[in-house]
Amino acid sequence: MSGHLKRRLTTTQIIAFGFLSAILVGMFFLMLPISSKEGVWTNPVDALFTATTSVCVTGLTTVSTAEHWSVFGQVVILVLIQFGGLGIVTFTTFTLLVIGSRITLKDRLLIRDAYNLDSLNGLVKLTKRVLKGTLIVEGIGALLYMTVFISDYGLNGIFYSVFNSVSAFCNAGMDLIGDSSLAVYRDNVIVNSVTVSLIILGGIGFPVWWDFLAIRKKNRKLTPKSIWNRFELHTKLVLFVTLILLLLGTVLIFAIEYNNPNTIGKLSGWEKLQASFFQSVTTRTAGFYTIPQENFTDASAFVSLILMFIGGSPSGTAGGIKTVTVAMIILTAVAIVRNKQYTEVFGRSISSENVRKGIAVIVVSVSMLVFAMGALCIIEQKDFLDTLYETMSALATVGLSRGMTGDLSVPGKIVICATMFVGRVGPISLALLFNINGHHGNNRHYPVAKVRVG
């Protein structure tokens, strides 16, 4: 991207065009005969779909990742997943550091906006730590996977482990095990534990990492309570809401599916709990599964849809409207009911600007969901719940399906591709994408008037 064009584009536009460029480049490589096991050209639409689902770290696939793609094609997918998980800003900064180029003020502003930070201080160091932390976590995950996969797949298990680790941390949900995801490892404690740990670590967001490391660096002898008290409000909200969602999701799925022979009904008590917890974790934008989604009851599917819509946390590898957004809206509703003027939590007041952004995220996300859902219903004319599941999975970059992805028509695939892109870039960011000159509007203020609500 030229310096002149870079100066004209907004941060949102640079990020969006970066993802789009990666998708198109990935599509080109995946179309090549060298990328398929049979050595033939891959259908452009399937290549586009695979590149999009990889860069947008979604996991929905129209062709088998394990069976259709050659090792070269799988490496291309792996690179796209890593790029999509970390983002164009992190990759660009890393490249500039490697070649010894100077990090300009524009670059620092990009980093700040990409991670939703308030200060320009220590941004390059933050990027280095994000990259280092990502490689360390993914490396440890790969080594742990190897203890299982090498014995099952021989030397191929090494590559499978690396692929699975990167995919899990980036919340992509793609694997090389086969067409049934991790169902064959439903009762394997190591595979389950490593996968959910990587998903959670990637999904909580890099600012939470930064906050924790900064506190630990200042004083390594702090108690858990002292660490909690020193956390920023953002970190507290992320951790609190994440814990609530994980526990609530596990309990609900466990209770609803307890006697369902098609899901966890025939499993032991521990295996039921493990499978329920895995489902609770993976629905928050990961995409792996140990139980086929079409086997769940409608009630569990409804729970999964809610978890999908919420997703992970800001500035991480997960999608959805984000945990902090949900927390702010609920807290605002509580404040209104209690006749309080401000939205308060953990001894702090949340700014009205944050609340307004949260409302905008939900409204735009629901609007996008309705639009994509309507288009897919008209095009495919499939079961309503299956269509809703597919659309929500794409918008929240989850990657779970009730068996509909492989049967999509070409127009249906295009709709899902567009929905995945919107989900990865972000609904609000997409709306700002067409603000060509980066204008922020004017400060005109009209007289206040009251309207009747409710």
CATH of the domain at 340: 1.10.287
- What is the residue-wise DSSP string for 40-88? SPPPHHHHHHHHHHHHTT----SS-TTTTB-HHHHHHHHHHHHHHHH-H
For residue range 22-71, what is the model confidence (pLDDT) as tens digits?
999 999 999 999 999 999 999 999 999 999 999 999 999 999 999 999 99
Looking at the fold, whether 188 and 243 belong to one and the same domain comes out as: yes
Contact yes or no for 254/247 (Cβ under 8 A): no
In a domain, residue 440? The reply is no
In a domain, residue 8? The reply is yes
In a domain, residue 410? The reply is yes
State pTM to two decimals. 0.91
Q: How many CB atoms lie within 10 A of CB 145?
A: 24
What residue numbers bound the domain in which 417 lies?
A: 323-432
Interhelix angle 71-86/11-31, rounded to 10 degrees, is 170
In tens digits, the chain (454 residues) has pLDDT values of 555 555 566 777 778 888 999 999 999 999 999 999 999 999 999 999 999 999 999 999 999 999 999 999 999 999 999 999 887 777 777 777 777 677 777 777 777 766 666 666 767 777 788 888 899 999 999 999 999 999 999 999 999 999 999 999 999 999 999 888 999 999 999 999 999 999 999 999 888 888 888 887 777 777 888 888 889 999 999 999 999 999 999 999 999 999 999 999 999 999 999 999 999 999 988 889 999 999 999 999 999 999 999 999 988 888 899 999 999 999 999 999 999 988 999 989 999 888 998 999 999 999 999 999 999 999 999 999 999 999 999 999 999 999 999 899 999 999 999 999 999 988 777 766 665 444 555 567 788 888 887 7
In a domain, residue 346? The reply is yes
pLDDT number for residue 392: 96
Interhelix angle 384-395/298-310, rounded to 10 degrees, is 20
Looking at the fold, whether 305 and 329 belong to one and the same domain comes out as: no
In a domain, residue 445? The reply is no
Whose CA is closest to 146, among 131, 163, 134? 163
pLDDT number for residue 266: 93
In a domain, residue 442? The reply is no
Looking at the fold, whether 277 and 299 belong to one and the same domain comes out as: yes
pLDDT number for residue 296: 96
- Domain-ending residue, one of 251, 280, 310: 310
Looking at the fold, whether 279 and 359 belong to one and the same domain comes out as: no
Looking at the fold, whether 255 and 389 belong to one and the same domain comes out as: no
In a domain, residue 280? The reply is yes
Q: How far apart, in Å, are the Cα atoms of 223 and each of 99, 184, 215, 230, 242?
A: 42, 40, 11, 11, 21
Looking at the fold, whether 211 and 339 belong to one and the same domain comes out as: no
Looking at the fold, whether 71 and 196 belong to one and the same domain comes out as: yes
pLDDT number for residue 175: 93
- Domain-ending residue, one of 310, 335, 364: 310
Looking at the fold, whether 153 and 108 belong to one and the same domain comes out as: yes
Looking at the fold, whether 223 and 346 belong to one and the same domain comes out as: no
In a domain, residue 25? The reply is yes
Q: How far apart are CA 212 and CA 147, in angstroms?
A: 29
**Rg of the chain, C-alpha, whole Å:** 22
Strand duo 348-350 + 343-345: pairing: antiparallel
Looking at the fold, whether 283 and 370 belong to one and the same domain comes out as: no
pLDDT number for residue 433: 64
Looking at the fold, whether 135 and 267 belong to one and the same domain comes out as: yes
Number of domains comprising the chain? 2
Looking at the fold, whether 329 and 291 belong to one and the same domain comes out as: no
